[in-house]
Structure 1
Amino acid sequence: MTSDYLVIGSGIAGLTFSVKIAEKFPERKVVIVTKASEDESNTKYAQGGVAIVLNKEEDSFKKHIKDTLIAGDGLCKEDVVKMVVKEGPDRLEELLLWGANFDVNDAGKFDLGKEGGHSEYRIVHHKDITGYEIERALLKRAHQLPNISIMPHHFAIDLVTNHHVKDANAEELTCYGAYILNQKTGDIFTIKSGVTLLASGGIGRVYGHTTNPAIATGDGIAMAYRAKARIKDMEFVQFHPTALYDAKGESSFLISEAVRGFGAYLRNQNGHRFMPDYDDRAELASRDIVSQCIDNELKKSGDQHVYLDCTHLDVEAFKKHFPNIFNKCKSRHINIETDWIPVVPASHYLCGGVKVNKKGKTSIKNLFACGECSRTGLHGANRLASNSLLEALVYAHNIFKYHAKRDVVMLNVDIPKWNDEGTTISKEHVLIQHNQKELQALMRDYVGIVRSNQRLKRAIKRIELIYSEVEDLYKQHKITTSLCELRNMINVAHLIIEQSLERTENKGGYFNIDNAKKIKSV
């Protein structure tokens, strides 16, 4: 296949760019490849909302910028922060034009929420399913544009670069498209494209216990890494403090940060409200602080989880703001009027990724990245709550603006067919499952919320063994989605460990007990 624009991923980042470029150039072809159903993405599960300065009487761009810089712990790119924050109102206006709905109060104004790390009420939301609502509106608009083709259940295996083709005119590393697996037929084909956009989401499944959906296996980052793109800040994995605890360790249900903003307390097994012991902001401290404090409480007590106490809150108001969370708790026989909610930190968001400039350009020609798979410099060492959807909207717009002024140049190259000669169909799926579980346990135990140099060095040795085993499987057997995902997760895990070892000071979401700064232990 050929396309003018190949977009890998169907979340807020990929869809926003696709809709804009398709509206601008109805004669150009946009192909969106997504490995699950078209609406399955990290965007779909974003509960909190979009951080945007709207109430200029109490809030300001300056305050939002300051909050973002504080959360990023000195590692944000300040010019990027200013750009993203100031574009918020315009990007919200576009969402409204596309039909996205957000909650309003009795006065008819946006019902703004407040989350950890924010100094003012500025979170625009749709109940507790904001991402789902944005995804719905974007998909509806995408389907109205005949030059957008969405290909669900198609898995991007690898980017096509100079390594695969002979291009006499290529003076620099260039992307020509991607190899794609049709998951229903098993066929592998190429999509040659003038522009390729990675909008492939996060890496949560690398840790197993995560708020991310099952598809979040870091595919875009791994593909870019193998293509030799620059990857940065992978050590900054954000753990959400409050995922609903599941004794089997399989829960991915998020108890939104907005619940703490609404007034919920964190308590240990003894009923003690512990956050004021650590931070003056108590439950409204940034996510890295809250996660580290919970981790410290659990290590002291040996308990498996702490509690989120909502029993003092107005239950009718809670149900109105968080109907999805209320119903999920009810399905687990947790009555929030009388029962505390068992919660535990889980991997949630990656602040690093494929390094891009303000136009979304990677270090590879014709390859762009947007959303969670990219590293823009906005988040620094730790993401401020609800800044991620805003970042995706702004960078999708920037990439669109860049291409709106340019013709698409379809490079005259022949891409070789995928060569799987000599491979066989694997009958040992158990090997993939075992290696995946081993990798996830390794990352949780050695490369989690709190790390040490010894654990990281052990992790490097263990992951080299897993990598060697999986590469043998990859070379010997025909491609499957699960095998590719495992290979990608190993690449991502390697990057996280290597870049963790390179960091010599604790910043934001990165905490190593061998570095000088420690959280206060009570």
Structure 2
Amino acid sequence: MKTHLFIIGSGVAGLTLAVKFAERFPKKKITIVTKGDADESNTKYAQGGVAVVLDEKTDSFQKHIEDTLIAGDGLCDKAVVDMVITEGPKRLKELMVWGAQFDVDKTGNLDLGKEGGHSQYRVVHHKDITGYEIERALLSRVHQLENISLLPHHFAIDLITEHQLKQVSKNITCYGAYVLNQKNGEILTIQAESTVLAAGGIGRVYGHTTNPTIATGDGIAMAYRAKARIKDMEFVQFHPTALYSNQEGSAFLISEAVRGFGAYLRTKNGNRFMLTYDDRAELASRDIVSQCIDNELKKSGESCVYLDCTHLDLEAFKCHFPNIYQTCLENNIDISKNWIPVVPASHYLCGGIEVDAQGKTSITNLFACGECTRTGLHGANRLASNSLLEALVYAHNIYKYHCGNSMIYKEQIIPSWNDDGTNIPKEHIVIKHNLKELQSLMRDYVGIVRSNYRLNKAITHLDVIYKEVEELYRVSKISTTLCELRNMINVAHLIIGQSLNRKENKGGYYNIDNL
């Protein structure tokens, strides 16, 4: 299969790029593959919103820039921060033109929220399901454009470069990817002039995460195996307030906007502990709040802390956070009477595939945008609601690059996927066992607070898992679960290795041996 633009991922980054490209180049073919349903992505679960400066009487680009730089703890790229934040209002207006609807106040103006790390009210939202609304609007527009082919339940296995072509070259070029049709098991060879990784985050590497089950770091792992530059993988952001549960797997997110609305964090005995850690209390940045919760749990031996909403206006809370209110009720939590039990959970990766301002990676004809990238915007810690903004801006920048530059592309005879000598694995328990081992290893040894001892132990344990899974991969027919596990192992290796290389604590990275 040949296509002009090949996009891996169907979140806000990938869909925004597809829509822009399709409208500008109606005779060019765009192909999007996504391993889940068309709307399944980290975007769909983004509750907070899009941080943009809309009212310069009460806010300013400079204030938003300063808040971003403070959260990033000295590791942001200032030029990137300036570019993304000043572009924000234009990109938001485009979303609204495409049909995305956001909450308005009594005067008819956009109702702006405030989240941790923000000095002003500037978060545009749709109730507490902003990502869901953006995804709905973008998919609706995608389906109206005839030159876009969206293929759900198609899993990208590996990028095609000189390695698959048995060629030796100093400059690596991407020619497309091998893709598994999960419905019939066929492996497609998709050849493209430009390939874009918009494959989302890595939350499932930790098991306990606010991300959906599809967040297995596939884009980063594929880029890593293709020898693209990967940077800042040590900066895993843990969201401070995921709903506590004894069950493993995806955790329900209690949006940071709830604390912006006035909720308090308390220990089991009622102590409002954030007041003793930071002048901003519950509205400190995520890295600080998560580390403080982690410290309180270690001191007390308890399994969770609590979010107290009992003093808030109940009707206003239900209006702003209907999904959160209903989910709490379904878990026998009446927020007017009961505190919500919460714990930090893996939420967002600030590092990833290194890209320039146009979204170009270190591999020719390979671009990337969204959470799988390291743009320089977030530095050591992402400011709340800057992620959807980043995805919108970088999708636009990749589009602009294609408008002004012709792709230098050499036709290649690409071999079909070769699975000679492989069999359908009979021992699926090997995959399940190693997945649990990996997730447990990452939570216990590579969590919110790290140490050189635990990180070195993690490398030793990960090596055992890696060897067993690679052996299974060599003899097995391709399956999504096996490829996902392989990708998560690659991602874990990058997180651990780059953690050990960081010799100072910054933002979301905290190592007790760096004190």
Q: TM-score, normalised to structure 1's length?
A: 0.98
- 1:143-222, aligned counterparts within 5 Å? 143-165=143-165, 172-222=171-221
CA distance in 1, matches of 2:170, 2:477: 34
Partner of 2:103: 103
Contact 2:213–2:250 (8 Å) recurs in 1: no
Partner of 1:368: 367
1:252 shift after superposition: 1.6
Task: Kindly provide the CA deviation profile for residues 320-349 of structure 1, in whole angstroms up to 9, marking residues without a partner as x.
Answer: 000000000000010000000000000000
Letter in 2 for 1:425: I
Partner of 1:25: 25
Contact 1:68–1:384 (8 Å) recurs in 2: yes
Contact 2:76–2:380 (8 Å) recurs in 1: yes
Partner of 1:121: 121
CA distance in 2, matches of 1:359, 1:406: 11
Letter in 2 for 1:71: A
CA distance in 1, matches of 2:144, 2:330: 37
CA distance in 2, matches of 1:392, 1:246: 31
CA distance in 2, matches of 1:149, 1:229: 27
Secondary structure in 1 matching 2:22: helix
Partner of 2:333: 334
Task: Kindly provide the CA deviation profile for residues 203-241 of structure 1, in whole angstroms up to 9, marking residues without a partner as x.
Answer: 000000000000000000000000000000000000000
Partner of 1:55: 55
1:409 shift after superposition: 4.8
Whether 1:441 and 2:414 are equivalent positions in the alignment is no
Shift of the 37–173 alpha-carbon distance from structure 1 to 2, 3 Å rule, reads same
Secondary structure in 1 matching 2:344: strand
CA distance in 1, matches of 2:308, 2:488: 35
The aligned length equals 515
1:190 shift after superposition: 0.5
Task: Kindly provide the CA deviation profile for residues 399-432 of structure 1, in whole angstroms up to 9, marking residues without a partner as x.
Answer: 0000012334552101111111001110111110
Contact 2:365–2:407 (8 Å) recurs in 1: no
CA distance in 2, matches of 1:482, 1:496: 21
Contact 2:5–2:192 (8 Å) recurs in 1: yes
Task: Kindly provide the CA deviation profile for residues 78-136 of structure 1, in whole angstroms up to 9, marking residues without a partner as x.
Answer: 00000000001100110010000000000000100000000000000000000000000
Task: Kindly provide the CA deviation profile for residues 453-512 of structure 1, in whole angstroms up to 9, marking residues without a partner as x.
Answer: 000000000000000000000001101000000000000000000000000000000000
Q: Unaligned 5+ residue runs, structure 1? A: 517-522
Letter in 1 for 2:391: A
CA distance in 2, matches of 1:145, 1:189: 23
CA distance in 1, matches of 2:83, 2:256: 25
Secondary structure in 1 matching 2:112: coil
Q: Over the residues paired in the alignment, what is the CA RMSD in angstroms?
A: 0.9
CA distance in 1, matches of 2:439, 2:40: 22
Partner of 2:308: 309
Contact 1:245–1:251 (8 Å) recurs in 2: no
1:167 shift after superposition: 6.4
1:172 shift after superposition: 1.4
Partner of 2:450: 451
Q: Unaligned 5+ residue runs, structure 2? A: none
Letter in 2 for 1:248: Q
Contact 2:212–2:250 (8 Å) recurs in 1: no
1:514 shift after superposition: 0.7
1:379 shift after superposition: 0.1
Secondary structure in 2 matching 1:419: coil
Secondary structure in 1 matching 2:113: coil
Task: Kindly provide the CA deviation profile for residues 12-48 of structure 1, in whole angstroms up to 9, marking residues without a partner as x.
Answer: 0000000000000000000000000000000000000
Letter in 2 for 1:146: E
Secondary structure in 1 matching 2:512: coil
Task: Kindly provide the CA deviation profile for residues 338-378 of structure 1, in whole angstroms up to 9, marking residues without a partner as x.
Answer: 00000000000000000000000000000000000000000
CA distance in 2, matches of 1:402, 1:196: 13
Contact 1:99–1:137 (8 Å) recurs in 2: yes
Letter in 2 for 1:130: T
Partner of 2:78: 78
Letter in 1 for 2:104: V
1:77 shift after superposition: 0.1
Letter in 2 for 1:218: G
Secondary structure in 2 matching 1:505: coil
Letter in 2 for 1:33: V
Secondary structure in 1 matching 2:175: strand
Contact 2:217–2:488 (8 Å) recurs in 1: yes
Letter in 2 for 1:455: R
Letter in 1 for 2:193: G
Q: Which runs of 4+ in 1 moved over 3 A?
A: 407-410
Partner of 2:112: 112
Contact 2:159–2:175 (8 Å) recurs in 1: yes
Contact 1:244–1:251 (8 Å) recurs in 2: no
Partner of 2:134: 134
- 1:471-482, aligned counterparts within 5 Å? 471-482=470-481
Secondary structure in 1 matching 2:32: strand
Secondary structure in 2 matching 1:259: helix
1:189 shift after superposition: 1.6
CA distance in 1, matches of 2:360, 2:178: 21
Secondary structure in 2 matching 1:372: coil
Contact 2:91–2:392 (8 Å) recurs in 1: yes
1:286 shift after superposition: 0.2
Partner of 1:519: none
CA distance in 2, matches of 1:407, 1:224: 23
Partner of 1:401: 400
1:249 shift after superposition: 3.3
Partner of 1:243: 242
CA distance in 1, matches of 2:224, 2:258: 37
Partner of 1:497: 496
CA distance in 1, matches of 2:36, 2:23: 25
Letter in 1 for 2:450: R
CA distance in 2, matches of 1:236, 1:407: 35
Contact 1:157–1:484 (8 Å) recurs in 2: yes
1:165 shift after superposition: 1.5
Partner of 1:9: 9
Partner of 1:520: none
Letter in 2 for 1:274: F
1:250 shift after superposition: 3.1
